[in-house]
Amino acid sequence: MHADKGNYYTQGLPVPETPPPGKAPEFWRETALVGRPIPRVDGYERVSGSAIYPSDLALPNMIYGDVVRSPHPHARVKGVRIDRAAALPGVRAVVTGDSPAARDIKWQHNNHEGKLFDPVCRFEGEVVAAVAADSWYQAADAARAIEVDYEVLPFTVDHDEALKSSAARVWESGNLVGRESYERGDIATGFAEADVVLEQEYRTACELHTPLELHGCVANWEGDRLTIWESTQGVYAVQSRVAEALGLPLSRIRVIGHYLGGGFGSKLWPGKYTVLCALLAHESARPVKLLLSREETFLCVGNRPANTMRLKAGVKKDGRLTALEFDCSGPSGAYPAGGVQLVDWLVRDLYLCDHVRTEGRDVYINAGPARPFRAPGHPQGAWALEQMMDSLAEKIGLDPVEFRLRNIPLVSQGREGRPPYTVTGLRQCLEKGAEAFKWQATLERIKKQNSQPGHVKQGAGLAGCLWIAGAGGPPSTVTIKLFRDGSVNLNMGASDIGTGTKTIMAQVAAEELGVKPEAIQIEHADTGTTQFATPSGGSKTVPTEAPTVRNAAIEVKRQLLAMAAEDLGVPVAELRYVGDEIVRAGRPEQKIKVAEVSTFKKRGVVIGIGYRGPNPEDKAISPFAAHFCELEVNTKTGEIVILRFLGVHDSGRVMNRLTFDSQVIGGIVMGIGFGLTEFRQLDANQTGKLCNKNWHDYKLPTALDAPAEIASLPVELDDPACNNTGAKGLGEPVTIPTAAAIANALHMATGVRFTAAPLTPMAVLRGLERQKEEGGEI
């Protein structure tokens, strides 16, 4: 309850000018609410447990689904017997590839049209049957009672082996998904110009999506209308995929996704589980809840593919890069899913270089399909490029910060036509970061410490990055409904995937309307009641939705100004919207309370619709960043302890410092997992199965693994060209350079170049051992 309940207008805070119809709003110079560290608008709900996530949802008469999955990485389903399962107590539906309701259902994997139930299972975890029963345990028992005859087929799970003629074929046509190549300048000329040429192979391991909330949904039919509550980044993406699979009109499918416990790219669209859940609900005429187990999510909801990368680079003694040649391969899994997608982007675009050639080979293996994973391709590419940058700097005797500063691009070299960036904050990220981190002093301190005897050594390292996208763009539609007390309904289709989207949108609406942030009630992520939105991903949600919210709020103000002009009998152009009042410019005695505008009084509400215009066509928009890391390594045990981390980010305007910093901290911790502990272990020799499909064997960083000190430093540069809010997106750059910065710090600590991620204690010990044997750098 608020003391001044009934009046949600702010008084005294400046309200931005209302541009006349047809004129775009000005870039905000001063803001009253945007940028303030306002706590999450849904913070109480999230921490108290009253927020209902799809996994919390319980409906009357709801039953539970479970899925039978192939235990083999490659097998033909010869027969499925369901009699025993169907006869078990509580079982209400069984669906297999033989069920009339399921037989013809197709399932699209990017450009590949597959089947919901494919008689050939090409990865461990592929669906074979599904059941629904009164309790979770009964469903699990029934799933176990389904008897499947498999003809086990030879498999390939190693992407380095997949293209050899001896490798088992995932598909008859062979294991090559496709090749991608890129070239600019002339690579031979570039290497001829170089004073130093280095070449190195780098590897990164497959990282599994591990959002805290499992994947899944609740499905319920009312007649021929289907409602799905799904843990998703995009309700409209779920709606369209399910409509396509079931052959239903979009209008009969309502998808609700108010909360989700993380997605990171693996919940950009639904899974087969969503369609199975809808089928089970239909067959049983009950609401069905189908949540995957952690083991199942590790098998089949997505991953960041492992990559093998070879990078050859040429540099002049003065620190100018002359040539970059990059070769990369990686697995899509069993379906085309972008095994090398965007892995080369940083090589193409991050540093000035005239002569660049890249090639990528995407291969099939008998494992779960890859999916976008927080900055697809970029952390892998950074692992290679940013270590190479340090190796080159060392060879030519330049400080790694200084070397990077000599190669800062002002245009996006990798894009057609080399468009200029609206703002390139990379220089500021490096310079301000080096200063805040005390880079030079740290190096000197470490050098002194490491010259002392002892088996614990220190190191410091940095890495830079950009993110290809982040600018957002249309389509986006938002409506804002203003009530007479100044309270507001803000209606948008986008999901808040945990980043604070709703809070930022409340700030934007409150800023434009001159109302208190707590006046804003948000309706979102529901295809039945909210506007269309693309999935929240690609670091684009704020840059896409915030300008739209702004435009919707401006529409509200324009309507009120026009209504007030009638009441006051003055030209609308002379009126100013100042919050709770509309005032004539230069004649402050001529004014009217917003709530007293007569048409507003009559109608009760004013509704503004906002759309999002396109981004500038002739410019490139990218967020930039630099990460700095200090660590120590125990050379007897191979253990690494990260002592401190600094994330410096140019993402344009900081919309909310609290949500900003929480992205930076979370991204760094995720990057520490990628760099130090996480890897999918497939048994390539005997079974082809996933060996570490649980939280005991698959090591995520915990609070104890996070550095005691993680600092976030925004480089806030005005970027009026990117959009009318100046925000460029943050969710992905925060995890791109992290692992590379760790590897560079480890090199300083040990003198060894560790080229394969993750840097587990075993890997560190092996590297130190090799160094001892070879008496030099590896």
217 vs 279: CA distance, rounded Å: 12
For residues 494 and 196, give the distance between their C-alpha atoms in angstroms, rounded to a whole number: 49
Q: Between residues 379 and 688, which has the closer beta carbon with respect to ligand MOS?
A: 379
Helix (H) or strand (E) holding 323: strand 321-333
SS3 label, residue 114: strand
> According to CB under 6 A, which residues from 228 to 257 bind ligand MOS?
233
The answer to the question of residue 376 lying near ligand MOS (CB under 6 A) is yes
Residue pair 322/194 in contact by the 8 Å Cβ criterion: yes
Nearest CB to ligand MOS, comparing residues 211 and 714: 211
Counting every residue written for the chain, the total comes to: 778
Cβ 373 to ligand MOS, closest distance in Å? Answer: 5
**What secondary structure letter does DSSP report for 756?**
B
CB nearer ligand MOS, residue 174 or residue 473:
473
Compare residues 35 and 537 and give the one whose CB is closer to ligand MOS: 537
Identity of the residue, 378 or 484, whose beta carbon is nearer to ligand MOS in the bound complex: 378
660 is an interface residue for ligand MOS by CB under 6 A: no
CB of 748 to ligand MOS, least distance (A): 31
Does 305 participate in binding ligand MOS (rule CB under 6 A)? Answer: no
Shortest Cβ distance from residue 539 to ligand MOS (Å)?
7
Of 266 and 551, which has the nearer Cβ to ligand MOS?
A: 266
Min dist. Cβ of residue 376 to ligand MOS (A): 6
CB of 496 to ligand MOS, least distance (A): 13
Judged by DSSP in three states, 556 sits in: helix
Q: Smallest distance from the beta carbon of 536 to ligand MOS, in angstroms? A: 7
Give me the least distance between CB of 304 and ligand MOS, in Å please: 9
Tokens representing 773?
A: 């044997």
Distances in Å between the Cα of 661 and the Cα atoms of 212, 649, 654, 667 are: 20, 10, 10, 10
Q: Binder to ligand MOS among 374, 378, 516, 584 (CB under 6 A)? A: 374
> Taking Cα atoms as reference points, which of 54, 117, 116, 64 lies closest to residue 93?
64
CA of 447: how far to CAs of 167, 409, 443, 460, in Å? Answer: 48, 32, 6, 10
**Phi first, then psi: what are they for 108, rounded to 5°?**
-95, 125
CA angle 442-448-450, nearest 5°? Answer: 95
Question: What angle is formed at CA 661 by the lines to CA 658 and CA 663, rounded to 5 degrees?
Answer: 110
Query: Who contacts 117 (Cβ-Cβ below 8 Å, separation ≥6)?
Result: 96, 97, 102, 103, 105, 127, 128, 129
Shortest reach from residue 77's CB to ligand MOS, in Å? 32
DSSP 8-state code for residue 308: E
- Judged by CB under 6 A, the chain residues 354 through 373 that form the site for ligand MOS are 372-373
CA angle (667 as vertex; 661, 669 as ends), nearest 5: 105
Q: How far is the CB of 546 from ligand MOS (least distance, A)?
A: 17
User: Helix 235-246 crosses helix 272-284 at what angle (to 10 degrees)?
Assistant: 60
The residues, ordered by sequence, that sit 6+ positions from 229 with a Cβ below 8 Å of its Cβ are 54, 57, 217, 218, 255, 256, 257
For ligand MOS, the closer of residues 373 and 698 by Cβ is 373
CB of 262 to ligand MOS, least distance (A): 10
- Interface residue with ligand MOS, options 268, 321, 506, 710 (CB under 6 A): 268
Name the segment binding ligand MOS (CB under 6 A); options: 156-164, 263-271, 315-323, 690-698.
Answer: 263-271
**CB-wise, 461 or 731, nearer to ligand MOS?**
731
Considering only residues 570 through 599, tell me which ones interact with ligand MOS, judged by CB under 6 A.
none
Residues 488-547 that bind ligand MOS (CB under 6 A): 537-538
682: contact with ligand MOS by CB under 6 A? no
Candidate segments 258-266, 391-399, 553-561, 709-717, binder of ligand MOS by CB under 6 A: 258-266
Residue closer to ligand MOS, measured from CB, 233 or 755: 233
In whole angstroms, what is the distance from residue 677 CA to residue 767 CA?
A: 16
Stretch that binds ligand MOS, among 114-122, 223-231, 264-272, 686-694 (CB under 6 A): 264-272
Buried b (16+ CB within 10 A) or exposed e, 67-87: bbbbbbbbbebeebebeebee
Q: Cβ closer to ligand MOS: 265 or 414? A: 265
For the bound state, the minimum distance from the C-beta of residue 343 to ligand MOS, rounded and expressed in Å, comes to: 14
The full DSSP string for 676-692 is II----B-TTTT--BS-
Q: Is 264 in the site for ligand MOS (CB under 6 A)?
A: yes
Minimum separation from the CB atom of position 557 to ligand MOS (A): 33
- Out of 65, 125, 211, 265, name the contact with ligand MOS by CB under 6 A: 265
Identity of the residue, 464 or 538, whose beta carbon is nearer to ligand MOS in the bound complex: 538
Identity of the residue, 345 or 373, whose beta carbon is nearer to ligand MOS in the bound complex = 373
Binding site for ligand MOS (CB under 6 A): 233, 263-265, 268, 372-374, 376, 537-538
